[in-house]
Amino acid sequence: MEPLTDPFGRLHDYIRISVTDRCNLRCIYCMPAEGMQFQPQDEILSYEEITAVVEALAPLGLSKVRLTGGEPLVRKDLEQLVAMIAAIPGIDDISLTTNGLMLPAKALLLKQAGLSRVNISLDSLKQDRFSMITRGGDVAKVLKGIEAAEAAGLSPIKLNVVLMKGINDDEIKDFISLTLNSPLNVRFIEYMPIGSASDSWRQTYLPLETVVEACTAAGWETEEADMPSGNGPSQNRRVVGARGTFGLIHPVSEHFCDNCNRLRLTADGHIKACLYWADEYNVRPLVQDPAAVQALFRKALGNKPHNHEMALALEKKAQSHTPTARRMSQIGG
């Protein structure tokens, strides 16, 4: 069968599936403090429906699945979904993006069900600041989650750090220090204007050259580093002699769309071929019909623009399409 390609010849073998738009935190860059309207449970894809979508796409070359949200671990018995996806022939890599709070209870169950690895979001190592960014989170619980993921053998563990000017940019050195004696991959991510390109985003957005400058200031010599799996758009480096690595993901200042291999599925069953634009295709009514699911994904890919235009949003310039109105928690990152 024809693989999943778009008009620019990009092969799509990876899907990010949001399993819920709900979350046990309220990070300042992701969700409003109040007034978020969550999708009713009966509008969310069931585990059977999600599995049916992945089953339809696997014969077209889909091999990698990431579960995300909202917070995916607030969805009941997520390990059951992991096991259902792991049983699909052709799927060889299942990963999870999580805030880590529930990993102490879930890491082993997820590993046993077939989860390969986790990305854990952690934007500050200081409790008062972490609580401010997440609106009430406890950093000690995330650190316990990282330990639980390590103990369960979920590897490699990646830490996602959204870098924000004046909020956590003085912690770059502390985060990279975590990689000196531990095989972690710390990924610094530029703050993206998803859901709205507001002035507060422009004031807080920080290009990632800052990370390189912080290494120089710390007197660290760094070298390029290869990652065993799931390299994605991250440019990885290592402090010479360190066990772990750190990566830079700069979607805004330097988009990585040329090599985009991702599809996205929202919790309410909408295909998004690009994180940034508003275009969506509702696959939910079709999930029982694999040929129709395949056709809709091909249609979504057929209309996939070459790249997002976050850099134009930074400059307040006109864009070629309409950006999505969804918040990041409603897409999955």
Instruction: Please check if 215 is assigned to a binding site.
Output: no
Instruction: Please check if 108 is assigned to a binding site.
Output: no
Q: Based on CB atoms, which residue is closest to ligand SAM, 103 or 293?
A: 103
The upper half-sphere exposure of residue 309, i.e. CA atoms within 13 Å in the direction of its Cβ, equals 16
Measured from the Cβ of residue 268, the count of other Cβ atoms closer than 10 Å reads 17
Q: Based on CB atoms, which residue is closest to ligand SAM, 160 or 324?
A: 160
Does the footprint of ligand SAM cover residue 330 (CB under 6 A)?
no
CA-nearest of 23, 148, 115 to 73 is 23
Which of the choices ligand SF4, ligand SAM, none does residue 189 contact, using the CB cut-off of 5 to 8 A by kind?
ligand SAM
Instruction: Please check if 262 is assigned to a binding site.
Output: yes
Instruction: Please check if 192 is assigned to a binding site.
Output: yes
Is 67 in contact with 119 (CB distance < 8 Å)? Answer: no
- Which residues of the shown chain bind ligand SF4 in the complex (CB under 6 A)? 23, 25-27, 30-31, 69-71, 99, 121, 328-329
Instruction: Please check if 70 is assigned to a binding site.
Output: yes
Which of the choices ligand SAM, ligand SF4, none does residue 276 contact, using the CB cut-off of 5 to 8 A by kind?
none
Is 265 in contact with 53 (CB distance < 8 Å)? Answer: yes
User: How many residues line the site for ligand SAM (CB under 6 A)?
Assistant: 20
Minimum distance between the CB of residue 168 and ligand SAM, rounded to whole angstroms?
A: 11
Q: Based on CB atoms, which residue is closest to ligand SF4, 19 or 81?
A: 19
Instruction: Please check if 121 is assigned to a binding site.
Output: yes
Instruction: Please check if 14 is assigned to a binding site.
Output: no
Please spell the DSSP secondary structure of 144-199, one letter per residue: HHHHHHHHHT--SEEEEEEEBTTTTGGGHHHHHHTTTSS--EEEEEE----S---H
Is 113 in contact with 83 (CB distance < 8 Å)? Answer: yes
Is 191 in contact with 204 (CB distance < 8 Å)? Answer: yes
> How far is residue 326's CA from residue 296's CA, in Å, rounded to a whole number?
21
Q: Which residue has the tokens 């059977």?
A: 48
CA-nearest of 109, 16, 121, 12 to 67 is 16
> How far is residue 67's CA from residue 96's CA, in Å, rounded to a whole number?
5
Contacting range for ligand SAM; rule: CB under 6 A; set: 103-111, 125-133, 186-194, 300-308: 186-194
The footprint of ligand SAM (CB under 6 A) covers 23, 29-30, 68-69, 71, 97-99, 121, 160, 162, 189, 191-192, 194, 328-329, 332-333
Binding residues for [4Fe-4S] cluster: 23, 27, 30, 257, 260, 274
Binding residues: 16, 23, 27, 29-30, 66, 70, 97, 121, 158, 192, 257, 260, 262-264, 274
Binding residues for GTP: 16, 66, 97, 158, 262-264
Binding residues for S-adenosyl-L-methionine: 29, 70, 121, 192
